[in-house]
Chains A and B, each alone.
Chain A
């Protein structure tokens, strides 16, 4: 047994070779998944593809980055067809355990990149899915996220790295999140294909039928129209059929039809509706959704573009720094306005200052160690912290002042019509209150608040003043 000379089975699932330890999965036995975090890679022996899919899915859909980022290799002793869906989710395959040495380099590379990541917990499901995606892409140096044709998918295409997070019925949400990630600048997309989904339930299992344009019944019968030249009679073929043989006889002049093109021809086809007896040539095409049973014209189907995605520089940085929340998440926090709205209001304030020559201020509060903080907090807590921060700030400023999130770690606040000195003092007080709040809520959480408060200068454009204010927090 050559294996025993080079490999060392630590337990039923663990295999060691040199300094590497692998979780080795075979014979339909599933190890406790949390064990995977303590090893360098997972090796799955391929005997049954459904089983492989199950395992790969379980690993990649786990929420612990130490598990879902672990390299996976397939051990294929026999020649098997590749399943693109599975191939996309794994890092390579080997023919026998002797070949493990060849993949160690790959394992090192992945694990080095993995260790450089600063995984934070995310505020929302969307942010969480995006975090996983960009982390997986970054770690595996996956340049392009390709849609894979998949007849089991509700979208006809799968992005395996997205699909792992969704039930089959909710796969269309994957597209939404990919679009969101693109809006955030993490991904750059290119058109690949278009799919049409049910407008009610986003299902894709449709039955397409030709239906009557008057009553939408699919109970229609097509028939050739025949023109008999000698007498000029025109009618559907059934007018010409007789009961005795399968020859055609003209109902007008009783002559037998002989030769197409000589004594008759078929100028067109007509459809007869057996439900409302309407005759028509241009039928509608309806799509009946097999999931929710709606039956509508294909024109009502919703088109979804399927794209290929590339990780952008910003996406890579976000993967490393940790991605906490999408702009949608922070816009939703009670008591804040959208960042865009904040900018507009600032512009008006500057206009006002030109007239009144009053004193107004702009303040930024930044959490210096946000990735550290957020990775310690769960997403629910994090949302709570956002809310608490905002309510503390709100209670220290006038009701006419506004608050907005610039990013998940930076809040901007307007402080209008007060001298700069007072604004500085209020900012200081706010930070004290915020620190106290954190201290009273969490035992061992150190939050570094950094602030900057500037007096508004009505001679400078509002965007420039914001840029200067936020430069050091980027």
Chain B
């Protein structure tokens, strides 16, 4: 142990800036510049912009309540009955009142039909549609959409919970810019203190959603409106005739709205809490699905975005390009880095490894503390997470990277997503055939 420390001290002494870059280019180019430096600048710009636009926002809010449009809240899902009462009840507490709630039961095999029906009778739900045959998430959402009468559509997940001003906040961006076709809400982890894996996801959501989406939204390349909390203009969804087969239908519909020429906004202050997988095993399952859909939708279904033609739009291109670069390419580039280090710097490998861990961990701490200052309001005290931050290197750098790699390979070579039981076989067979 002492030997290792000794050798490491000697290693540090040899580091010149040029040598440092030679050994840690991966961290420097990808992690530091993209995920720290750039984000930090954008966050500041964002803060300035929201300060200068605060009157405009207040005006938008006033116009929302003046017009008071009917808003349809769609809650599609399977076996979600146990969450429905709580959700419907909390929706009745929302500051925005002119809502209709449409629940679609996608072939549940539990008490959902009974619960939904009785809530409909009690007037807590406006329309409850029970589909005996499961059709998958997209079909359930489309079914709800077909019978929605609102001018705006909000898509929710039954197992999430929402701040009582969340509906109001997610609608405001439509009134700030009439080119906005869809708005994503801010999703945080509710069960962050349930286990280590949920705590780590809590930090991850804070980085990738709260901070990440604020940044991408500012840059105009925000690309996924979460299914857990998203708002849409009804006329835009009508043009698209709703969602296509998933998985990854959230990202898909966002791309389709972009392609129609509408903007996508992120409502950082529209808060939604979701429960995340509480074991590493369950998390793997979820992430494999998400990561596969990235390949499937970005690189297969919507690859036309990357090709210059009449409908080409620069921001759409950047959005897809950034996504592919920083997720797919980078993922494989990391293996290149690992290979180079193992091949050419083998004697130093342990020291390089330690340094990388220290670099990432330090960055994580700085980011976390600094970005917390930019966070509008928090459901959790940030200090809770501080002790867990060192684990993020392994969680992010190893665990999620490994999952992602498997997912990409499965999807590239075997189109595994079409076999996902998340969709009924009767629908995914068509998705596979059509290559979507």
Contact = CB atoms under 8 A, between A and B. Distances in A.
A38 interface: no
A329 interface: no
Contacts of B140: 234
Interface stretch (A107-115, A189-197, A225-233, A400-408): A225-233
A270 interface: yes
Interface in B382-436: 426-427, 429-431, 433-434
A18 interface: no
Contacts of B427: 229-230, 232
Interface residues on B, range: 20 to 34
Contact of A236 (B131, B146, B431): B146
Interface stretch (B41-49, B171-179, B241-249): B241-249
B107 interface: yes
Nearest to A232: B138
B132 interface: yes
Contacts of A312: none
Most A CB contacts (10 A, CB to CB) among B136, B241, B244 go to B241
Interface string B234-256: 00000001111100000000000
Interface residues of A, number: 28
A245 to B, nearest CB: 22
Interface string A272-308: 0000011111100000000000000000000000000
A251 B135 contact: no
Contacts of B244: 231-232
Contacts of B245: 229-232
B83 interface: no
B241 A231 contact: yes
Contacts of A213: 120-121
A268 interface: yes
A268 B241 contact: no
A71 to B, nearest CB: 58
Nearest to A265: B133
B130 A279 contact: no
B242 A268 contact: no
Contacts, number: 90
A234 B143 contact: yes
Contacts of B136: 232
Interface string B122-142: 000001111111111011101
Contacts of B430: 229-230, 263
Contacts of A231: 241, 244-245
B426 A252 contact: no
Contacts of A270: 129, 147
Interface string B248-281: 0000000000000000000000000000000000
Given A252-B242, A282-B117, A234 B128 contact: no
Nearest to A231: B244
A267 interface: yes
B130 A252 contact: no
A233 B133 CA distance: 14
Most B CB contacts (10 A, CB to CB) among A213, A229, A266, A279 go to A229
Most B CB contacts (10 A, CB to CB) among A227, A278, A279 go to A227
Contacts of A32: none
A235 interface: yes
Most A CB contacts (10 A, CB to CB) among B117, B130, B139 go to B139
Contacts of B128: 281-282
B435 to A, nearest CB: 11
Contacts of A279: 127, 129, 147
B130 A268 contact: yes
Contacts of A266: 133
Per CB-CB distance, the 7 closest pairs between chain A and chain B, nearest first, are A267-B131, A252-B241, A234-B143, A230-B430, A232-B138, A267-B133, A234-B142
Given A227-B143, A282-B117, 14 more contacts: A229-B245, A229-B429, A229-B430, A230-B431, A231-B245, A232-B242, A232-B245, A234-B142, A252-B242, A267-B132, A268-B129, A279-B147, A280-B127, A281-B128
Interface of B: 107, 117, 120-121, 127-136, 138-140, 142-143, 146-147, 149, 241-245, 426-427, 429-431, 433-434
26 contacts: A225-B143, A227-B131, A227-B133, A229-B245, A229-B427, A229-B429, A230-B433, A230-B434, A231-B244, A231-B245, A232-B142, A232-B242, A232-B243, A234-B139, A234-B242, A235-B146, A236-B146, A265-B426, A267-B134, A268-B133, A270-B147, A278-B127, A279-B129, A280-B127, A281-B128, A281-B130
